[in-house]
Structure 1
Amino acid sequence: MSDSGRKVDTVAATIEEAIASGLWPVGSKLPPETALVDELGVARNTMREAVRALAHAGVLSVRHGGGVYVTAASPVEGLLGRRLARGDVLDVLSLRRGLEVEAARLAAQRRTPEDLARIHAAWNAHPDHAGSSGTTEAVMALHLSIVEASHNSALIDVYRGVLAAVSDSLSAVSIGPGFHVGEHRPLIAAIEERNPDEAARAAGAALDTVIDAIERSLS
């Protein structure tokens, strides 16, 4: 690899690390090119190549005239999300179900008091706990908090890559008024009680509710 190629890889890795650290979260806009060039002490062409590589990986989105935005927390998340966006909604949800079942099982075994606090915060912000229909964003926040409680970094990375595709898929499908995202109380209780088998069963049941409703809407 040439020196210029190594410099591009180094700059790209630095940007990835900043994103992973939360300095530039998903949805945020990167500083202007001139500021990044000055901060990292690299040539403008090197910076542009690094941004181009991360955009190709699905981590960044270049909006001509509008700046550069973070679209994924890692290349794994970006590429997986891009691939799944082309998939059938039921196929994507089946994948999500498998991930969430295993994540719930692990969360029941590994959760910490801090994990439970995050799960409850997401649950309390979720309109479904009061019996009303929830939004896609609220559903994702609650389920992501449970997946993160698994403390399995590989599973978390893959799940994050699934989130965007799931959100887009659900937005494109009419599931009718009054649709509920499943009963989450048994799932949260099982995680609190450190009951991995019941947590896995409850996670599967919650996703089955979503899958069944979409199957009916498509029939």
Structure 2
Amino acid sequence: MVDRVPLRTGPLVPRVEQVLRERISAGDWAVAQRIPNEAALATELGVGRSSVREAIRLIARDGLLDVRHGVGTFVTEPPDDDGDLGRLLRRARLLEVCEARTALEVEAARLAAERARPDELTALRDRLGRRHDSNGPRESAPDRFVAADLDFHRGVVDLAGNQVLSALFTSVLPLLHTAMVELVTGEPELPDTSCAHDDLLAALERGDPDGAEAATRANLDTIMTQLREGGAR
């Protein structure tokens, strides 16, 4: 029976991804070698096959694994210019996360502007204050900043009064947290979007759906523009 590899605490897929990346980096599997299949890795790590599949997909996007359907998954030779190519791949992945956030949070902001009660907005203002307090320097405590930022956005989604939107946001929250920490630490010149957050709260307090949508887009579009243009580093 295969002994299970201990996983660190935290969201499941990023933990599995980290373990597999560490094994590739350590040379546990040689270049061109086929790694164990999903079922074997799931048993070894004590997780579900879907978590292994998603972790492999993310690593393959970075060019470290080659998934050949019906054949297996193989370790690939790292790109020669890992710096430039690695940053491009990372930005593409983060951009997808931001696009998904926009689709979800824009509608949530519009609904929140129509439905939020004054006492709920007072609580949301407290969340925004904690987000601002943790904002700088972000690179020194990215986990703390990202947690406070996402707590504010989760509050906005919950104020939409739509259980499906809240459930969707909760389901992707671990992915958002991992991606945003990576973004904050990997893009040192990332613009400060505090003003857009202030504008969002102000629009909610006015009961202004269009203003809430515009502020949400201003926040996420700023980040997406930077990722598309590759302006940092």
- TM (normalized to structure 2)? 0.53
Report the AA paired with residue 102 of structure 2: R
Match among 136, 151, 154 for residue 161 of structure 2 = 151
For the Cα contact (< 8 Å) 1:92–1:162, is it kept in 2? Answer: no
Aligned residue pairs total 146
- Separation in 2 of the partners of 1:143 and 1:110? 16
Residues 190 and 226, structure 2, Cα contact 8 Å, conserved in 1: no
In the alignment, what sits opposite 2:132? 127
Aligned to 1:106: 111
1:161 to 166, 171, 189: 171
Tell me, yes or no, if structure 1 residue 89 matches structure 2 residue 101. no
Match in the other structure for 1:50: none
Q: CA 1:206–1:126 in 2, change beyond 3 Å: closer, same or farther?
A: same
Q: CA deviation at 1:116?
A: 0.5
Query: For the Cα contact (< 8 Å) 1:115–1:145, is it kept in 2?
Result: no
Question: Match of 1:199, SS?
Answer: helix
RMSD between superposed Cα atoms in Å = 3.5
The yes-or-no answer on 1:195 pairing with 2:208 is yes
Are the equivalent residues in 2 in contact too, given 1:108–1:199 (CA < 8 A)? yes
**What do residues 141-171 of structure 1 show as CA deviations (whole Å, max 9, x unaligned)?**
1111111100100011001122211211122
Unaligned runs of 5+ in 2: 1-9, 11-44, 62-92, 139-144
* Alpha-carbon distance between aligned partners in 2 of 1:149 and 1:101, rounded to the nearest angstrom: 13
1:114 offset after TM fit, Å?
Answer: 3.0
The two structures have a TM-score, normalised by structure 1, of 0.56
In 1: Cα distance, 2:172 partner to 2:231 partner: 22
Runs of 4+ in structure 1 deviating by more than 3 angstroms, as ranges, are 82-87, 131-134
Cα distance between partner residues in 2 of 1:172 and 1:186 = 25
Q: Provide closer, same or farther for how the CA distance between residues 94 and 196 of structure 1 changes in structure 2, counting only shifts above 3 A.
A: same
Identity %: 27
Q: Which amino acid aligns with 2:192?
A: H
